[in-house]
Structures are given as C-alpha cells and as structure tokens.
Amino acid sequence: MNLIVIALLTLGIIGAVSAIILYFVAKKFHVYEDPRIDEVEAALPAANCGGCGFPGCRGFANACVKADTLDGLFCPVGGNDTMQKVAGILGKTAVTAVPTVAVVRCGGTCDHRPRMNEYDGVKHCFIAHNLYSGETGCSWGCLGLGDCEVSCEFDAIKVNPVTKLPEVDEDKCTSCGACVKACPKLLIELRKKGPKSRRIYVSCRNEDKGHIAKKSCDVSCISCSKCEKVCPHEAITITNNLAFIHDDKCKLCRKCVEVCPTNAIVELNFPPRKVKEESMTPKEEQLVG
C-alpha cells in the first residue's frame, strides 16, 4: 500500500513540475499566428497545386494575410468566388480575373503528321525531347508521351490514344499551369475561357518557314499572314513564322478561321455555321421541301 502511495506521489510531483516548466516555456516561446490564416486556408480549395506560385494553399493564405493589397495574388483553381471570400475575411478588395483554361497548341494527329521513325525509349516527353525531335517530321509538335497528363492534379488533361494528342476537359481544368510547365515543347497555353467557353486559337507552334512547316504537317501554320490581314481587330500578329491570336483583342468573329488555308486556326464550342442558302437552286429547294 505504502509503495503505491510513494509511486503516485513521485509521479504526481514530476508531472506537476514538468507542467509548470512547460507552461512557462510555452508562454516564453509563443509564436503569434494570425488566426485569419486558418480562416483563409479553409476558404481555399485545398488542392495544394502551386498554381498561385506559393508552396501550397497554406503558403498562399499566409501571403494573402501579410500582403497589404491582394494585387497579384490569385487562386486560379478557386477563381473569383474564392478570392471574394478571401477578400471578405481580410477586409481587402480582390482583383477579379477573367477565367482561363489550358489549350494545347498542336493539331498534328497521326493523319496530319506521318510518323517517320519509332521511339522505343522511356515514355516521358522530356526525356524524348532531350534525345531528339520526335517521331514525326515536325520538331515543334506534340510528342504524345503524356508529361502533361502526369502533371495534372485534376485529371483534366488526357492523351487521346487515337490522335496521340492531349485533350483538355474544360470542366475539370482549373488553369493551375502545371501542364504548361511540364510540356517541353511549350505547346500548352492558358487562354481566356471566353463567353460560353468559345475560343479561337492557332493550334500550332511550328516556327519553321512555310514550305518546311507544310511538309512536316498538314495543319501547321505556314505564316501566310492571311489571318493577320483579315482580322478587323488587329488581334493577330505573326512572329518567327508563326501566327498568334491575342485573346484580349480577339472578338471571336471567326473570320480568320475561314481564311486559314491549313486549318491551323481552331474554333471551339461555336454553334455550327449556317449553310449558305444561295448554294441551292429553287429546283433543289423544291426537291428538299
């Protein structure tokens, strides 16, 4: 009985002394952390993708709390709604950004770009890119080995096994920019999502001269500058034998799509064009009717 009392007393005293020491140490070395960081973090999507440029959502929350204004701070995954919430918590005004989405600027499917050799090395775009220009004649185009697919945290980009080109799922894409960094050929670009997800872009990165580009791929940009001339909004520029549509100037009139001789300019999510009526003779109309 005595033994138990002694043991209990000893342990109790040690515990009490330790508790007192710990209490004072905790007081002394207390680090003040803004409680708003936790609140902001809770409002963020918790994807930890790094798309904002900070190491994870906590890093971004920390930066938001410390910054004087929210200029230049934007969570591409959460978008404007999340930024409004963050701004509400912090009592600052959020910058609204136009939602963007990733587009793959290569249209060289197997039909358009004949395979000239076979690559049997590691299925990794960067490694293949380091070794040589790729299986096709176009040294600028997609290698189709899926570095972008691996890099995507949201399952939004997938290489189509038939066309061997990556396809972006617009609903899933958060435009975090991971695939942009992963692509060794710099094919992926974040573009404005556009009204009703309608977009027009040049689906080619080939900077070779026209005849060389045309030889290597049927749907390459041959820098004929027809689109540059036809564009009423001066949204198209040609640099290094390659046309580029600036999405802040583009009004989605689709004139460039019509004139492009190689179909290198792609339109997405537009309703089908009306068939021109004068192509039908009255007789034919009667027959159809």
Partner 1 sequence: MKTFRIGGIHPKENKFSAGKQIQVAELPKQVVIPLSHYIGTPSEAVVKKGDVVKVGQLIGKANGFISANVHSSVSGKVNKIDVQLDATGYKRPAVYIDVEGDEWLETIDRSTEIKRECNLSKEEIVRKIQDAGIVGLGGATFPTHVKLSPPPGKKANILIINAVECESYLTCDHQLMLEKGEEILVGTTILMKALEVNRAVIGIESNKKDAIVHLQQLAKNFKGIEVEALKVRYPQGGEKQLIDAVVRRQVPSGRIPIEVGAVVQNVGTTYAVYEAVQKNKPMIERVMTITGKTAPNPGNYLVRLGTYLSSVVDQAGGVPEGTGKIVGGGPMMGRSLMNLNVPMAKGSSGVVFIKEEESIRKPVKNCIRCAKCVTVCPMGLEPFLLMNQSERNMWAEMEDNRTMDCIECGSCSYTCPSNRPLLDYIRFGKTTVGGIIRNRTAKK
Q: Using CB under 8 A, pick the residue from 14, 16, 116, 186 that binds partner 1.
A: 116
Q: Looking at 36, 124, 158, 192, which residue binds partner 1 (CB under 8 A)?
A: 124
Q: Does 120 bind partner 1 (CB under 8 A)?
A: yes
Backbone φ, ψ for residue 149 (5° rounding): -65, -45
Q: What is the DSSP letter of 123?
A: S
Instruction: By CB under 8 A, name the one of 36, 56, 126, 252 that touches partner 1.
Output: 126
Chain center to CA of 146: 15
Reported as type and span, the H/E element at residue 35 is helix 35-43
Indicate the residue among 85 and 112 with the shorter CB distance to partner 1: 112
> What is the smallest separation between the CB atom of 107 and partner 1, expressed in angstroms?
20
- Does 130 participate in binding partner 1 (rule CB under 8 A)? yes
CB of 62 to partner 1, least distance (A): 22
Q: What is the CA radius of gyration of the chain?
A: 29
Applying CB under 8 A, among 18, 93, 96, 117 the residue interacting with partner 1 is 117
DSSP for 244-279, written as a single string: EE-TTT-----HHHHH-TT--EEEESPPPPPPPGGG
Please, which residues bridge with residue 200 across strands?
267
If one asks whether residue 134 binds partner 1 (CB under 8 A), the answer comes out as yes
Among the residue ranges 84-92, 132-140, 260-268, 275-283, the one whose residues contact partner 1 (CB under 8 A):
132-140
Residues 189-228: x where in contact with partner 1 by CB under 8 A, - otherwise, as a string: -------------------x---x----------------
Given candidates 72, 132, 215, 229, which one binds partner 1 under the rule CB under 8 A?
132
Nearer to partner 1, 47 or 103 (CB): 47
For residue 161, the minimal CB distance to partner 1 (Å) is 20
Alpha-carbon span 142 to 162, nearest angstrom = 14
To partner 1, the closest distance from the beta carbon of 207 in angstroms equals 10
Distance (Å, whole) CA 1 – CA 49: 61
Counting other chains too, the contacts that 224-230 makes at CB distance below 8 Å and 24 or more residues apart are 224/261, 226/256, 226/259, 226/260, 226/261, 227/256, 227/259, 227/260, 227/265, 230/255, 230/256, 230/259
DSSP codes, 176-213: -SHHHHH-TT--EEEEE--GGG-EEEE-----S-HHHH
H/E stretch holding 242 reads strand 242-245
Q: Which is nearer to partner 1, 124 or 254 (CB)?
A: 124
Residue 205 burial class via C-beta count within 10 angstroms: exposed 0-12, middle 13-18, buried 19 and up? buried
Tell whether residue 121 is a contact of partner 1 (CB under 8 A).
yes
Q: Site for partner 1 (CB under 8 A): which residue of 109, 139, 237, 241?
A: 139
Q: Please tell me the count of residues contacting partner 1 according to CB under 8 A.
A: 16
Task: Using the minimum distance from each CB to partner 1, give the nearer residue, 9 or 122.
Answer: 122
Stretch that binds partner 1, among 30-38, 62-70, 122-130, 160-168 (CB under 8 A): 122-130
Contact residues for partner 1, defined by CB under 8 A = 116-117, 120-122, 124, 126-127, 130-134, 139, 208, 212
